[in-house]
Chain A
Amino acid sequence: MTLGIGDLLIIFFTLSIFSLLYKENPFSVFSEHIFVTEGQAFALIVAIDYITKFAIVPMYKGSYWGIIPVVLGLMTYFRYTKGYKWISRIPISISIGVGLAVSLRAIVATNFLAQISATIVPLFVAGNLLATFGNIVVVTSVMTTVIYFYFSKPHKGVLRASSRFGYYLFYIAFGTYFASVFMGRVGLFMGRMRDLLLYDRMIATLILTAIILIATFALDKKGLLRKSIGYKE
């Protein structure tokens, strides 16, 4: 298998971004700018394609409903004018209003009723010690955490003990989240590493690593690293 231009670009941009771990340098800055502009260009193309498909083409076929969202969309650009800025608030208000109404219609059932009823569990499950323990943990955690947010009475005595317990439970939850975040970040890193370490790409990876490192170190040694990325010193 031969290396294509796409493979080389993948390796170059991945290594360029990783080079940030040393210091900000021309390779990392260039890659960041390419990433942002490419993302914006892609989003623009997708949006134009969608507007064409669902608004412009139907208008040619005699269906004019698509003109409403197109006009509302164009109205948002009035925010760049001085006297007519208020017009841009109309489509934003409609968008927020519709979005809220759509999500609120089931939010009580989804996020409140079902979650509250899932907390009302038996504290003792016959013949299943693990389930019993799990249910006790759920009920205790919910109660003590809610007590932590109860501000109408000073937290003294039993109330204080409960709220402290809830407070420590927060830390357990934060720890779980943080561990998951870390797993996710390693997942991203792993994806990049797999791309670099594919058998066909190994030589190119080593050569490009050498080029980027030598160039960055050389600039740093001459004191030109910050200047090369636009800092005025």
Chain B
Amino acid sequence: MALLSGYEAQRRLVYLILFIVVAIPILRPVGLPLIISDYTLATYRTIEELPAGSVVLFHYGFGASGWPELGPQSIALATHLSSRPLKVIWFGMAGMVHVFIEQTLSMANLGDKVNGKDYIDIGYIPGWETGLAAMATNFHGVVQTDYRGNSIDGTFLDNIHTGADIALVISLETGSPGFEAFLRQFQVPYRCKEIVGAIGVIAPGVVPFYKSGQVSGILNSVRGGGEYELLIHRPGEGVVNSDVLSFAHVWVIVSVIVGNIVYLWERGKRVPVRAQEAEK
């Protein structure tokens, strides 16, 4: 029983119960109610209000670790964008970005959209903010081929020269180059709108920019993805993940309450050191 005694055992017990709590809704989705936030609704409306033929720059700023939080968002957004007469440029500034762009495009419902005519994957662009600035000022100086090395001549990218030709930037990110870099390089000089899909760690930091009107919409982590799936009437991974999240959060709240009660109870029982010394 050494495995289950003392502080280490309590820690392991918390993890073990978390495993079980997370496994239940994954194996048997519950479908807990999900209230759609203003941020998600604003994201949806921003895309709905784009004029036909507008060009959207869709940025992936995450690696494998970001996929569980941002994957459902990207699939839901791709499906929504494909339901509208818009052109989409997919790209990213993280090394393994193409894996996730391909995954998104294979899992989203693209309808009758055609590669090269309605959307294009230009893959990895290095240079962080400097690279973004270069794209915004001279798009063809940075982008000459698509991800597979095919020429982009003859595609809708022929009409893209600077940031002024982009109507909306969507940035899904875990932090770098950061949504603020897009604000600086696209929104301030060219008045492009911006939507941010953020992991939970950085989402609160985006809110002041939404309140000031600089960011047009926010999708907050797993929950944002689930809400967006409901908005486009395609519940999927995001909705299931929201169930899991709710279960896990309830368990953590219970753990915090129980942990504090146990702590206070044990503190009450403990004999102060001075009293112990006096007894000696």
In contact, A103 and B184 (Cβ under 8 angstroms): yes
A218: chain B residues at CB < 8 Å are: none
Q: Point out which of A47, A109, A190 has the most chain B C-beta atoms below 10 A from its C-beta.
A: A190
Choose among A46, A103, A194 the residue that contacts B129 (Cβ–Cβ < 8 A): A103
Instruction: Output the least CB separation between A109 and chain B (Å).
Output: 5
Q: B188 within 8 Å of A by Cβ?
A: yes
In contact, B95 and A46 (Cβ under 8 angstroms): yes
Query: Complex: how many Å from CA A107 to CA B129?
Result: 12
Secondary structure type dominating chain A contacts: helix
Query: Complex: how many Å from CA A188 to CA B248?
Result: 12
Q: A70 within 8 Å of B by Cβ?
A: no
Query: Complex: how many Å from CA A171 to CA B69?
Result: 26
Instruction: Output the least CB separation between B129 and chain A (Å).
Output: 5
B26: chain A residues at CB < 8 Å are: 190, 193-194, 197
In contact, B130 and A99 (Cβ under 8 angstroms): yes
Instruction: Output the least CB separation between A226 and chain B (Å).
Output: 16
Query: Complex: how many Å from CA A192 to CA B69?
Result: 11
Query: Complex: how many Å from CA A152 to CA B143?
Result: 52
In contact, B65 and A188 (Cβ under 8 angstroms): yes
Choose among B130, B145, B204, B214 the residue that contacts A110 (Cβ–Cβ < 8 A): B214
Q: A122 within 8 Å of B by Cβ?
A: no
A selection of 5 A-B contacts at a CB cut-off of 8 Å is A106-B189, A107-B184, A187-B241, A188-B65, A197-B26
Q: A60 within 8 Å of B by Cβ?
A: no
Q: A149 within 8 Å of B by Cβ?
A: no
Query: Complex: how many Å from CA A99 to CA B203?
Result: 25
- Number of residues of chain B lying within 8 A (CB) of chain A: 53
In the complex, identify which listed stretch (B40-48, B205-213, B268-276) lies at the interface while the others stay far away. B205-213
Query: Complex: how many Å from CA A45 to CA B67?
Result: 21
- Across the A-B interface, the 4 shortest Cβ-Cβ residue pairs: A191-B68, A118-B212, A184-B200, A183-B200
B67: chain A residues at CB < 8 Å are: 191
B27: chain A residues at CB < 8 Å are: 197
In contact, B214 and A114 (Cβ under 8 angstroms): yes
Q: B156 within 8 Å of A by Cβ?
A: no
Query: Complex: how many Å from CA A210 to CA B200?
Result: 33
Q: B104 within 8 Å of A by Cβ?
A: no
Binary CB contact string for chain B from 170 to 213 against chain A (1 if under 8 A, 0 otherwise): 00000000001101110111000000000111111000110111
Q: A43 within 8 Å of B by Cβ?
A: yes
B223: chain A residues at CB < 8 Å are: 183
Query: Complex: how many Å from CA A30 to CA B50?
Result: 50
B69: chain A residues at CB < 8 Å are: 184, 187-188, 191
In contact, A99 and B128 (Cβ under 8 angstroms): yes
Choose among B202, B212, B220 the residue that contacts A115 (Cβ–Cβ < 8 A): B212
Q: A105 within 8 Å of B by Cβ?
A: yes
B126: chain A residues at CB < 8 Å are: 47, 50
In contact, A190 and B68 (Cβ under 8 angstroms): yes
In contact, A42 and B95 (Cβ under 8 angstroms): yes
A21: chain B residues at CB < 8 Å are: 12, 15
Give the residues from 151 to 188 in chain A that come closer than 8 angstroms, CB to CB, to chain B: 173, 176-177, 180-188
Query: B134: nearest residue on chain A (CB-CB)?
Result: A102
A138: chain B residues at CB < 8 Å are: 211
Q: B30 within 8 Å of A by Cβ?
A: no
Q: B221 within 8 Å of A by Cβ?
A: yes
B96: chain A residues at CB < 8 Å are: 42, 46
Question: Can you name 9 extra interface pairs (CB under 8 A) apart from A115-B209, A180-B202, A186-B245?
Answer: A22-B12, A53-B145, A53-B149, A105-B184, A107-B184, A176-B204, A177-B204, A183-B249, A190-B26
In contact, A180 and B12 (Cβ under 8 angstroms): no
Query: Complex: how many Å from CA A99 to CA B245?
Result: 38
Q: A98 within 8 Å of B by Cβ?
A: yes
B202: chain A residues at CB < 8 Å are: 180
In contact, B245 and A111 (Cβ under 8 angstroms): no
Query: Complex: how many Å from CA A138 to CA B245?
Result: 29
Q: A110-B188, A190-B245 are in contact. Are A184 and B199 (CB under 8 A)?
A: yes
